[in-house]
Amino acid sequence: MSEDGDNIGERMDAGARQAEADREANAALILSLRSQGIRSHKVLSAIERVPRRLFLSAALQRHAAMDSALPIECGQTISQPSLVAMMTEALDVQTAHRVLEVGTGSGYQAAILGHLSGEVHSLERYRTLVDLARERLATLKIGSVEVHHCDGLEGLAEKAPFDRIVVTAAGPDIPRPLADQLADGGKMILPLGPKGTVQQLVMVERRGAVLGRRVLADVRFVPLVEGVATRL
């Protein structure tokens, strides 16, 4: 075999080994999520199809199977898989739902939502994160997610109303534009509370003009920041 042929074979072998490692890591992750009470088959299936490793920097990829939050670019974090699974399961996303995500971050949760819904709009204030998320989603061939570089606090009025809204950063109260863009019968999940303290993960459900709330868990999220970043 020629030297070029040897190199191609080595790359194919490395790719196959990595694919097998991803399958093993995700299988272990699914077992862990089941043990923590995640029961939705479709949510577990979506998570199993998204290698978390692809959403981390090279230095942190060995930690991809850990159920812990990890740092990503622009001073943000990728949430622990159990929290992503719990939030996604609570939303009960259906294929026909139009979904809004505020805070794309690495793009990991957007990818999972993209396997559950035919239309997902994800908003991110950092251009660096927008570009990285788009690349990762394209690599995974997830075409149902559109990532927008904009102020997430304003929502995306031109695509409203949304059947489901998920907010991945914490603020003191429900942003009015997001409440206005939630469809009748729709659900929104978001963390509420001040920066640097334990916050409450809240489920909001619209029934006509009434927004009902219930607390799901205590959490810690990065703060929800107004505007589009002028750097990064």
Residues marked active site are found at 79
Q: CA dihedral defined by 74, 80, 85, 88, rounded to 10 degrees?
A: -30
- 3-class secondary structure, 146: strand
Provide the 10 A C-beta neighbour count for residue 141: 7
AA identity, residue 66: M
Cis peptide before 161 (omega within 30 of 0): yes
Alpha-carbon span 119 to 99, nearest angstrom: 6
N-to-C CA span, the chain: 46
Cβ atoms of 102 and 165 within 8 Å: the answer is yes
CB 80 within 8 A of CB 72: no
